[in-house]
Amino acid sequence: MEKENKQCNEKDLFLEKLFQEYLPEKDNLIQMLNEIQEHYGYVPMHVQKELSEYLKIPMAEIYGVVTFYSRFSLEPQGKYKISVCLGTACFVKGSQKIMDRLTDRLKIEPGQTTKDGLFTIEQTRCVGACGLAPVFTVNGEVYGKASVQKLDQVLDELINKEKQSS
């Protein structure tokens, strides 16, 4: 309970700081949403409501912006965010197979998070490491020259690590 309160206060402080940093001008919306996404890992509804009050933009419009840009998510993200690059360079080198394997193993689709909150799958377009194609990333760390085997190995390691810690 205490922990929750603390978290709540921290969030408020974050918003307070954000509102100090940005003037209540409409064109700041996307910049602020970027910071919110970064801070919370998603764009919570209550934050959208506060933004709506602050920027004097209807919630539906903010929601429209949040659902337009793929960087913003409405749900909390998994502890491990696995992104498979489906840029052309990686695609040509077979990254779709890695994606297929991943969705098959975790039983979720790109953009979704596993029920235990551990994994989120994302597809990205070109992380710029085309020299290492195909690549996938786990929380931003790049695994280059990837294969289904390599993915399995990384997944197994993460799952085992989680099993041990729990």
Partner 1 sequence: MEENMVTLTIDGETVKAKKGTTILQAAKQAGIDIPTLCFLKDINEVGDCRMCIVEVEGRRGFATSCIQTVEEGMVVHTHTPNVLEARRTVLDLIISNHAKDCLTCTRSGNCELQTLATKFNVLHVEYPGEMTKHKVDDKSPALVRDFNKCILCRRCVATCKNVQGIGAIDCINRGFESCISTVGDHSLNDVNCTFCGQCIEACPTGALHEKESIKEVWARLKDPNTYVVAQTAPSIRVALGEEFGMDIGTNVEGKMITALKRLGFDKVFDTNTGADFTIMEEANEFVERFKNNDELPMMTSCCPGWVRYIEENYPELLSHLSSCKSPHQMFGALIKSYYAKKENIDPSKIYVVSIMPCVAKKFEAIRPEMQNEGLYDVDGVITTRELSRMIKQANIEFTKLEDSKFDDPMGEATGAGAIFGTTGGVMEAALRTAQDILTGEDLEKIDFEAVRGGKGIKKATVNIAGKEIKVVAASGLKNARKILEEIKSGKADYQFVEIMACPGGCIMGGGQPIKSAKIRSEVDVRKLRANSLYTIDEKSTIRKSHENPVLKKIYKDYLGNPGGELAHKLLHTHYEKREKYNFET
Partner 2 sequence: MKTLEEIHEIRENKRRELDLRVNTKADTREKHILVCHGTGCTSSKSPEILENFRRILKEKNIENVRVIKTGCFGLCAKGPIVIIRPEDTFYAMVTPEDCEEIIQTHIVEGKRVERLLCKDIDGKIVNSLDELNFYKKQKRIALKNCGVINPEDIDEYIAFDGYKALERVLDVMSPEEVIEVIKKSGLRGRGGAGFPTGKKWELTRASEGKQKYVVCNADEGDPGAFMDRSILEGDPHAVLEAMTIAGYSIGANKGYIYVRAEYPIAVKRLDIAIKQARDYGLLGKNIFNSGFDFDIEIRLGAGAFVCGEETALLESIEGKRGQPRVKPPYPAQAGLWGKPTLINNVETYANIAQIILKGADWYSSIGTEKSKGTKVFALGGNVNNIGLVEVPMGTTLREIVYDIGGGIPNGRKFKAAQTGGPSGGCIPKEHLDTPIDYESLKEIGSMMGSGGLIVMDDTKCMVSLAKFYLEFTVSESCGKCTPCRIGTKRMLEILEKLCNGEGEEIDIYRLEALAKNIQKASICGLGQSAPNPVLSTLNYFREEFMEHAIDKACRTAECKALAKIGIDEEKCKGCGLCQKHCPVNAIKGEGREKRVIDQDLCIKCGTCIATCPFHAIN
Q: Which residues bind partner 2 (CB under 8 A)?
A: 25-31, 33-34, 37, 64-65, 68-72, 86-93, 124-133, 135, 137, 141-142, 144
Q: Is 123 in the site for partner 1 (CB under 8 A)?
A: no
Residue 45's binding partner among partner 2, partner 1, none (Cβ under 5 to 8 angstroms by kind) is partner 1
CA dist 73 and 91 (Å) reads 25
| Dihedral of the alpha carbons of 145, 147, 150, 154, in degrees to the nearest 10 | 90
Q: Is 125 in the site for partner 1 (CB under 8 A)?
A: no
CA dist 33 and 51 (Å) reads 9
CA dist 125 and 83 (Å) reads 10
CA dist 16 and 53 (Å) reads 13
**Which position has the token pair 């990837």?**
146
CB of 17 to partner 2, least distance (A): 18
Instruction: Kindly identify the residues of this chain, within the stretch 38-97, that bind partner 1 according to CB under 8 A.
Output: 44-46, 48-49, 57-64, 67-68, 70
The residues of the shown chain that bind partner 1, judged by CB under 8 A, are 44-46, 48-49, 57-64, 67-68, 70
